[in-house]
Amino acid sequence: MNDLDDEEETPLEVVEAVDVSPQIDIGDATADDLLAEEELVSHYDVDVADNIDVNSADAHFASASIEGDISEAVEEE
């Protein structure tokens, strides 16, 4: 609450914007480009996994530590 009542404003950090859009020039495309016989890459099975053991799938979280401003201890159930 002290921070909200403070009259002095904290200046915002200025972050330079970065353009992450793909650089595609559709001006060079022709109707024949739509008919080109190219083999397409399928990403359909990228997130598929086989034989997942649900009892140990979250084992990597067992050694995780809590970071931040937690004012009281978090108890494990």
Q: DSSP letter at 71?
A: S
Question: Could you tell me the pLDDT band of residue 71, with boundaries at 50, 70 and 90?
Answer: low
Question: What does the alpha-carbon distance between residue 67 and residue 65 come to, in Å, rounded to a whole number?
Answer: 6
Question: What does the alpha-carbon distance between residue 61 and residue 70 come to, in Å, rounded to a whole number?
Answer: 18
pTM of this prediction exceeds 0.75: no
Q: What pLDDT, on the 0 to 100 scale, is given for residue 17?
A: 86
CB atoms within 10 A of CB 75: 5
Q: Which stretches within 1-77 are classed as H helix?
A: 2-5, 31-34
- Taking only the tens place, the pLDDT of each residue in 6-50 is 777 777 888 888 877 766 677 777 888 778 888 877 878 877 878
Q: What pLDDT, on the 0 to 100 scale, is given for residue 20?
A: 75
